[in-house]
Amino acid sequence: MKLPVVVHRARLGADEFRVVRPAGPLSRAVLIDHDRHLDAYVDQDAARGIAGLWMLAARSPRSLIHVPLRANRMPVREVPDDAGSRLDLVLLHHSLQFAPSHWKRVRGRLGPGRPQTVSLPEAEQGDGEVTDPATRHHRENRDLFHQHLHAETLFMTGSAKVFRETARHFLDVARKGPGHIPVHPGHPHFCTELHSNDGILGDAREIHIEYCDQWPS
Ligand SMILES: [Zn+2]
């Protein structure tokens, strides 16, 4: 996969932050806060784009990966979902020790940025790495996702390992979602989940990721 991104810099006091965003907007994607859990609705392009950014997060311990989503419109669904608030997404590593309370100022100070194309050969490799369930419960705390909510933004803090192992959720939706709908007209629901039983969530809520092909034009 070739992923076009823009690399921004932002200075805050003595610190400089590297913020990576998708080059083009992922407009057919939303992330909704439903209190007990989170819902992501994505079309094929957005699922692929987020999978790419997720894999980029795995190998970018010094960067904040910012996926602007909160201004996007909701998909057209049989049961309209207007219950929760829309969020942006930021992916980052525990080792960066970034305080989400600084995010609003960082976001406001981003430079124009430098376009770059990232090559992600790992996106073409089957279904990705799947961890043996027996080892899941022995993983270190740093290999679990922690979430923070700040400035209408969900911060997913993880490690290279946990980002690498979970990108396949979005790849799955991109690969299998579009084909599922026409052959299951009675139940046109294709989804996957970052589930609490997967041994990947620390202080974090579950994220249900659903494929949606109907969006307002
Ligand atoms: Zn579902």
Instruction: Compute, in angstroms, the gap from residue 39 CA to the centroid of ligand 1.
Output: 9
* 214: helix, strand or coil: coil
Instruction: Compute, in angstroms, the gap from residue 193 CA to the centroid of ligand 1.
Output: 8
CA–CA separation, 143 vs 34, rounded Å?
Answer: 25
pLDDT band at 131 (very low <50, low <70, confident <90, very high): low
Which of 187, 154, 135 lies closest to 210, judged by CA? 187
pLDDT of residue 181: 83
pLDDT of residue 129: 52
Which of 210, 164, 208 lies closest to 38, judged by CA? 208
Residue 209 in contact with residue 193, Cβ under 8 Å? yes
pLDDT of residue 186: 83
pLDDT tens digits, one per residue of 176-211: 999 998 888 888 899 999 999 888 999 999 999 999
pLDDT of residue 161: 93
pLDDT tens digits, one per residue of 138-174: 567 778 999 999 999 999 999 999 999 999 999 999 9
More confident residue, 139 or 111: 111
Mean of pLDDT values over 109-135: 78
**pLDDT surpassing 70 at residue 128:** no
pLDDT band at 80 (very low <50, low <70, confident <90, very high): confident
Residue 180 in contact with residue 190, Cβ under 8 Å? yes
User: What length is written for the chain?
Assistant: 217
Instruction: Compute, in angstroms, the gap from residue 187 CA to the centroid of ligand 1.
Output: 10
pLDDT of residue 77: 82
pLDDT of residue 92: 98
Q: What is the mean pLDDT of the chain?
A: 91
- The percentage of residues in the chain with a pLDDT greater than 70, rounded to a whole number, is 93
Mean of pLDDT values over 106-119: 95
Instruction: Compute, in angstroms, the gap from residue 156 CA to the centroid of ligand 1.
Output: 21
User: Which pTM does this prediction carry?
Assistant: 0.93
pLDDT band at 133 (very low <50, low <70, confident <90, very high): low
pLDDT band at 127 (very low <50, low <70, confident <90, very high): low
Instruction: Compute, in angstroms, the gap from residue 189 CA to the centroid of ligand 1.
Output: 6
Hey, which bits of the chain come out as E strands? 2-12, 15-22, 29-34, 37-42, 63-67, 85-86, 88-93, 114-119, 146-150, 153-158, 191-194, 207-211
pLDDT of residue 66: 98
Instruction: Compute, in angstroms, the gap from residue 43 CA to the centroid of ligand 1.
Output: 14
